[in-house]
C-alpha cells in the first residue's frame, strides 16, 4: 500500500485571507503543517496542492513538494482528486488540513491504518466529547458510528438526542464523538466522489461527507485521544500564540 499525503492550501480564505502564509513563531502555518506531515512514517510522500503562486513559491522556498491546481475547486477533496490523478502509483490518499500547524503525525497514521482493512473506501478521525460546551458547539461537527466503526451520520447538532433527559445531562447517558477533519480516500473512490452532485443533507448541514454517505459510500472511523487546534480566524491564531 502506497500512501500519498496532500495538503490543500488556498490563499483566498473568506474568514482569514492569506492564512497558509501567516507567521507562527518564525515559520509559516503551512510550513509547520508540512513538517508535521513529513514526520508520519505511514506517508510515502507529501505534496501541497494550491491554486496560488504565492503559496507555490513559498513551499518551493522551504524545499517542499507542491503542485498547482485549478482555481475552480469547491473543496479540498476536489483539489486532492486533481493531484492524485497525476500520481496513479498511490492507492491511498490522505487529505491533511492546512490550518492545523501542530497536527500530530500519529493522527495521520491512524487514518492511514484504516486502509489496512480490505475494502475500506473512505476514512476519518473521531474523538470522544467530554464537556457540555464541546457538545453544543455548532462549529464542531458530531458523528454517530455503527458497530463496524463506520460513520452513520454527521451533524452540527448534538446527536443522538436523549429523550426525557435535560440537555445538560446528555453526556451522562450517551457517548458522543466529534469529527476531526482529516480524510483518507481509496484513490479510485476519491475520483468517484468528486463527480457526485451536491446532496440535500450536505446542503442542509454544510458538511461534504454527508454527500458520500447519502450516495452509499462507507466511511471508516478511527478514534484518537489527541486534540487538534485548527485556526479558522485571526482570533484563533491570537489564542494559539498566547499558549506557545
Domains of the chain by residue range: 3-234
What residues contact residue 20 under an 8 Å CB cut-off, 6+ apart? 9, 10, 11, 28, 29, 30, 50, 55, 58, 98, 99
User: Mean pLDDT across the stretch 50-70?
Assistant: 97
Cβ contact 211:219 at 8 Å: no
Cβ contact 5:97 at 8 Å: no
Backbone angles phi, psi at 187, to 5 degrees: -60, -40
Q: What is the pLDDT of residues 159-176, one digit of tens each?
A: 999 999 999 999 999 999
Write down the pLDDT at residue 244.
67
pLDDT at 82 over 80: yes
pTM of structure: 0.94
81: closest CA among 2, 181, 1, 196?
196
State which fold the 3-234 domain adopts. Spore Coat Polysaccharide Biosynthesis Protein SpsA; Chain A (3.90.550)
Q: Is 96 helix (H, G, I), strand (E, B) or coil?
A: coil
Amino acid at each position: 500500500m502506497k500512501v500519498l499525503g496532500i495538503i490543500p492550501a488556498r490563499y483566498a480564505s473568506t474568514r482569514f485571507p492569506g492564512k497558509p502564509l501567516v507567521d507562527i513563531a518564525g515559520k509559516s502555518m503551512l510550513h509547520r503543517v508540512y513538517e508535521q506531515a513529513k514526520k508520519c512514517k505511514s506517508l510515502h510522500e507529501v505534496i501541497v496542492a494550491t491554486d496560488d503562486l504565492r503559496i507555490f513559491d513559498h513551499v518551493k522556498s522551504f524545499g517542499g513538494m507542491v503542485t498547482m491546481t485549478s482555481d475552480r475547486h469547491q473543496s479540498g477533496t476536489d483539489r486532492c482528486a486533481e493531484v492524485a490523478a497525476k500520481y496513479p502509483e498511490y492507492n491511498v490518499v490522505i487529505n491533511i488540513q492546512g490550518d492545523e500547524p501542530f497536527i500530530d503525525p500519529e493522527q495521520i497514521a491512524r487514518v492511514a491504518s484504516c486502509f489496512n482493512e480490505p475494502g475500506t473506501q473512505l476514512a476519518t478521525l473521531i474523538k470522544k466529547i467530554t464537556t457540555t460546551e464541546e457538545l453544543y458547539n455548532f462549529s464542531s461537527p458530531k458523528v454517530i458510528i455503527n458497530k463496524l466503526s463506520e460513520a452513520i451520520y454527521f451533524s452540527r447538532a448534538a446527536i443522538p438526542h436523549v429523550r426525557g433527559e435535560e440537555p445538560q445531562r446528555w453526556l451522562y447517558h450517551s457517548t458522543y464523538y466529534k469529527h476531526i477533519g482529516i480524510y483518507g480516500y481509496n484513490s479510485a473512490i476519491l475520483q468517484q466522489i468528486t463527480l457526485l452532485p451536491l446532496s440535500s443533507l450536505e446542503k442542509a448541514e454544510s458538511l461534504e461527507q454527508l454527500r458520500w454517505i447519502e450516495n452509499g459510500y462507507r466511511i471508516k472511523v478511527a478514534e484518537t485521544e489527541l486534540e487538534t487546534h485548527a485556526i479558522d480566524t485571526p482570533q484563533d491564531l491570537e489564542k494559539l500564540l498566547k499558549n506557545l
